[in-house]
Amino acid sequence: MSFFVTTPIYYVNDVPHIGHAYTTIACDIFNRFHKLKGEETFFLTGTDEHGQKVEKASLAKNKDTQKFVDEMSQNFRDLIPFLGCEIDDFIRTTEDRHKNATQFLWNKLKENNQIYLSNYEGWYSIRDEAFYLESELTKKENGFVAPSGAPVEWVKEESYFFKLSAWQNKLLEFYEQNKNSILPKSRYNEVLSFIKGGLKDLSISRTTFKWGIKVPEDDNHVMYVWIDALCNYITALSYPNIDNSSFKKFWPGVHIVGKDILRFHAVYWPAFLLAADIEPPKKIFAHGWWTNEGQKISKSIGNVIDPYEIVNQYGLDQMRFFLFREVPFGNDGDFSKDAIAQRVNADLSNNFGNLIQRISSFIVKNSDSKVNKPAEFIDDDKNLLNQYDEALNNYLTNMNSYSIDKALKNIFEFLSLVNTFVDNQAPWSLKKTDPVRMEEVLYVVAILIIKSSILLLPIIPSSIKKVLSIFSLSVEEINLSKIQNFLPEIISIKKPYPIFPRIEK
């Protein structure tokens, strides 16, 4: 089995914010999850560097555009390790490998009679890099605005068109047969009704500026930034060399995108691919948007959330955990300082952190820093071990269906049961009355901490490495296929320390 996951490639007109961090971390979580299942994985991200919006931003800064995108792209590259993400490739659309792949795709579409030259006259939004029908726009005092709130301008120019209208029925057929290929379900329905509403041919080149990939054999045109950008997903798999192992192994992939760019991924992209004789993506997951303390995040309001600030203030895994535990993946979410503090304190510090701390220090003090596997488990222990198996199954089902929040809920509800087990069994009282039973209890709790930790590895990897090292284990020793039957003969504790300090308000 192989797994290919991608973030959208980020526009380099501005510095990264929490929205970019959110998508990148989501992909990192799925990538780590599939790795943990033993699959061969490929995690791709990168930057979208062409088009009018980026060119405008460089001109506003009075910078050479290439120099500007070099600098801005670096900000996105630097953010990845800071977010604890491990990628396999970082693609930039200004690289030669990408220009070559995109021009090849263009030629292939042309060869397949999918492109024709005509004139475009209509609305365009530079901020969204999107064409709009007048019926989609709202009239405001200063003119029309796009559904996103972005301003639009009237453009009239010669343009190459892609025969999108010809793909309406093929796309519907594909989605009828692949009902889970767009998630969540509500987004699938949205895409289907958009396609059923009728597809118009799409303008795929521009003549009024130069910052883009040249249309082959027509120097007056550069490609529309979205055909250029979408192609990144196959450039990175060495397209057009489709017989090479990475394309064969990893395509079709899973695209994680924000809800605002679903149409490009679920309508235009599969149509381009089908028209070029390539399989459409395996899955497109559209996530929601974050607001800040109830307010839409925007540069003009000045409430953009800087991921560096959040990580420095609350901790990396604390932020990763909050973003994916607090809000169902797919829904919109509100970021607030109270909410992050409350969530981290309740789940990580109290439920999980205290359990680790009290059991590991108790073993150090009262059981010579180690516990042996009991000869037999009594019913109370077996019950709890069975409940873990149940939590594990639910976790797997939920992670496989992209419900990270539910998967996390499964683990934390189980950890509450472990805490109750400790309270009921009261190893501190058993110390004098029944030391053998005390050690059994400690073993059961320690092994269940380890088994639960493994499930949290994709979400909070660096903390889990610390937890495992307290239990003298390393990540390499355990994976998801071994986890159910993992019962080492002895568990030793290395010096315990608090891993999830409380956030003081």
Lookup: tokens for 308: 């560096």
Q: Per rule CB under 6 A, is residue 11 in the interface with ligand MSP?
A: yes
Least separation, in Å, of the C-beta of 416 and ligand MSP? 30
Q: Tokens 């929601």 identify what position?
A: 288
Site for ligand MSP in 47-86 (CB under 6 A): 48
From candidates 4, 5, 19, 237, binder to ligand MSP by CB under 6 A:
19
Q: Per rule CB under 6 A, is residue 95 in the interface with ligand MSP?
A: no
Q: Per rule CB under 6 A, is residue 230 in the interface with ligand MSP?
A: yes
19 or 253: CB nearest ligand MSP: 19
> Among 81, 180, 87, which residue's Cα sits nearest to residue 402?
180
**Residue 285 half-sphere exposure toward CB, CA atoms < 13 A:** 20
Least separation, in Å, of the C-beta of 52 and ligand MSP? 13
182 or 499: CB nearest ligand MSP: 182
> Among 416, 378, 407, 417, which residue's Cα sits nearest to residue 480?
407
Report the alpha-carbon distance of residue 91 to residue 126 in Å, rounded. 23
From candidates 4, 20, 42, 285, binder to ligand MSP by CB under 6 A:
20
Q: Per rule CB under 6 A, is residue 270 in the interface with ligand MSP?
A: no
From candidates 4, 5, 23, 392, binder to ligand MSP by CB under 6 A:
23
Least separation, in Å, of the C-beta of 41 and ligand MSP? 20
Report the alpha-carbon distance of residue 1 to residue 250 in Å, rounded. 9
Q: Per rule CB under 6 A, is residue 9 in the interface with ligand MSP?
A: yes
Report the alpha-carbon distance of residue 361 to residue 100 in Å, rounded. 59
Least separation, in Å, of the C-beta of 427 and ligand MSP? 45
Q: Is the dihedral of CA 319, 324, 325, 330 positive or negative?
A: positive
From candidates 106, 120, 161, 290, binder to ligand MSP by CB under 6 A:
290
Lookup: tokens for 16: 């990264």
From candidates 82, 144, 174, 289, binder to ligand MSP by CB under 6 A:
289
127 or 502: CB nearest ligand MSP: 127
Residue 311: CB atoms within 10 Å: 19
Q: Per rule CB under 6 A, is residue 229 in the interface with ligand MSP?
A: yes
Strand 40-48 and strand 89-92: the pairing is parallel
Stretch that binds ligand MSP, among 30-38, 226-234, 386-394, 401-409 (CB under 6 A): 226-234
Strand 40-48 and strand 2-6: the pairing is parallel
Lookup: tokens for 278: 């390539």
Total binding residues toward ligand MSP, as defined by CB under 6 A: 19
Report the alpha-carbon distance of residue 7 to residue 18 in Å, rounded. 14
23 or 367: CB nearest ligand MSP: 23
Least separation, in Å, of the C-beta of 188 and ligand MSP? 17
Stretch that binds ligand MSP, among 8-16, 165-173, 394-402, 478-486 (CB under 6 A): 8-16
Q: What is the CA radius of gyration of the chain?
A: 26
Q: Per rule CB under 6 A, is residue 10 in the interface with ligand MSP?
A: yes
Report the alpha-carbon distance of residue 75 to residue 23 in Å, rounded. 16
Q: Per rule CB under 6 A, is residue 478 in the interface with ligand MSP?
A: no
Lookup: tokens for 29: 């979580």
Residue 80: CB atoms within 10 Å: 20
Site for ligand MSP in 384-423 (CB under 6 A): none
Give the DSSP H/E element, type plus range, for residue 44: strand 40-48
Q: Per rule CB under 6 A, is residue 28 in the interface with ligand MSP?
A: no
Site for ligand MSP in 239-268 (CB under 6 A): 257-258, 260-261
Name the phi and psi angles at 215, rounded to 5.
-70, 130
Report the alpha-carbon distance of residue 501 to residue 308 in Å, rounded. 19
Residue 271's alpha-carbon distances to 3, 145, 267, in angstroms, are: 22, 27, 6
Spatial CB neighbours of 286, under 8 Å, sequence gap ≥ 6: 182, 183, 184, 187, 257, 258, 259, 262, 266, 330
Give the DSSP H/E element, type plus range, for residue 162: strand 153-162
Q: Are 204 and 51 in contact (CB under 8 A)?
A: no
Least separation, in Å, of the C-beta of 131 and ligand MSP? 15
Stretch that binds ligand MSP, among 4-12, 320-328, 340-348, 382-390 (CB under 6 A): 4-12
258 or 427: CB nearest ligand MSP: 258
Give the DSSP H/E element, type plus range, for residue 157: strand 153-162
Q: Per rule CB under 6 A, is residue 320 in the interface with ligand MSP?
A: no
Stretch that binds ligand MSP, among 213-221, 227-235, 466-474, 496-504 (CB under 6 A): 227-235
Stretch that binds ligand MSP, among 170-178, 189-197, 289-297, 368-376 (CB under 6 A): 289-297
From candidates 3, 4, 5, 8, binder to ligand MSP by CB under 6 A:
8
Q: Which residue is nearest to ligand MSP (CB)?
A: 258
Binding-site ranges for ligand MSP (CB under 6 A) = 8-11, 19-20, 22-23, 48, 229-230, 232, 257-258, 260-261, 289-290, 297
